[in-house]
Structure 1
């Protein structure tokens, strides 16, 4: 059922956005897997077997991304996930990524508490997706509200899916809009 066709990995360090250079530049990274969509071109009522089959794919992707980000789960402060469905698929095929992608990152990061924000859409080859990012332990930390544009050149073909995971070390480089700060997280509910 799972046929991975390509893996695309990117990491960027952000030194500044017109303001003073950061003492420690925030890092953002994304990993995208291009898979054959076994449900492309037809309606299938029970698609849950694929969600279960995606679990090891999610864990492997999260581990590879963490390694590219430096390997230390304690340094990861933000995360997000997303999916691009090729034109012969349906948005629900992208939704299959919610559990495997989210739980994989929480597992690899040692039990992060916040919900992993997500987005998905149907698109053609070269389609890009803005993956939302929030703090790994408290969704209301404003310094970490962000997004990372992801995509894989030439993907997805009509019969493909692109599943993405994003991690960050740090919040936005010049964050200054107030609100809950990372050092103030209570960790009670994944929100504050």
Structure 2
């Protein structure tokens, strides 16, 4: 059921964002895979078997992304996921990525208590997807509210879905608008 056309991994090295240079650059990475949409062009009532079929791809993509960011789960501070459905599909087809993408990252990272933020939309080939990101252990860590833009020039085709994962090794480079600091996480409930 899962036919992958390509996988693309991208890593940004952020040295500053207009302020002073960081002692250690922040790495922001994404992995995008283009998958044939078996439901394109028609309504199918029962689509959940594809969710289970996507689980190995979720693990493969999460591993590729973690490796591209240095391979150390302890360095990853934030994450997110998303999907961009080609024009012959529907939003619900992108929602199939929630479990395979999110749980794959959480499993690889060990302690990852916060829900994985997500974005799904339908769009044309070459459209961009802004994948939301927040802290992996506490969703209210404001310094880690961010995003990664994912776009592939040749996808998704009308009968494809682009599934994406994102991880970072830090928050925004010069975060200074308050809120819960990562050092102040105390409840370990995924929120605070």
Which band: TM-score by shorter chain? over 0.9
In the other structure, the counterpart of 1:122 is 122
- Partners of 1:111 and 1:92 in 2: how far apart? 29
TM-score by length of 2: 0.98
Task: Describe the superposition over 1:85-108 as per-residue Cα deviations: whole angstroms up to 9, x where unpaired.
Answer: 000000000000011110000001
Task: Describe the superposition over 1:157-183 as per-residue Cα deviations: whole angstroms up to 9, x where unpaired.
Answer: 000000000000010001111111111
- Partners of 2:23 and 2:54 in 1: how far apart? 39
In the other structure, the counterpart of 2:153 is 153
Q: How many residues align?
A: 192
In the other structure, the counterpart of 2:107 is 107
Any conservation in 2 of the 1:116–1:136 contact (CA below 8 Å)?
yes
- Partners of 1:3 and 1:91 in 2: how far apart? 19
Backbone CA RMSD of aligned residues:
0.7
In the other structure, the counterpart of 2:6 is 6
Query: After the TM superposition, which segments of 4 or more aligned residues of structure 1 sit over 4 Å from their partners?
Result: none
In the other structure, the counterpart of 1:25 is 25
In the other structure, the counterpart of 2:71 is 71
Any conservation in 2 of the 1:143–1:181 contact (CA below 8 Å)?
yes
Structure 2 segments unaligned to the other structure (5+ residues): none
Any conservation in 1 of the 2:15–2:25 contact (CA below 8 Å)?
yes
Judged with a 3 Å threshold, the aligned counterparts in structure 2 of structure 1 residues 33 and 173 are, in CA distance, closer, same or farther, namely same
TM-score by length of 1: 0.98
- Return the offset for 1:186: 1.7
- Return the offset for 1:187: 4.5
Any conservation in 2 of the 1:137–1:187 contact (CA below 8 Å)?
no
In the other structure, the counterpart of 1:49 is 49
SS at match of 1:41: coil
- Partners of 2:67 and 2:9 in 1: how far apart? 11
In the other structure, the counterpart of 2:88 is 88
Any conservation in 2 of the 1:113–1:187 contact (CA below 8 Å)?
no
- Return the offset for 1:49: 0.5
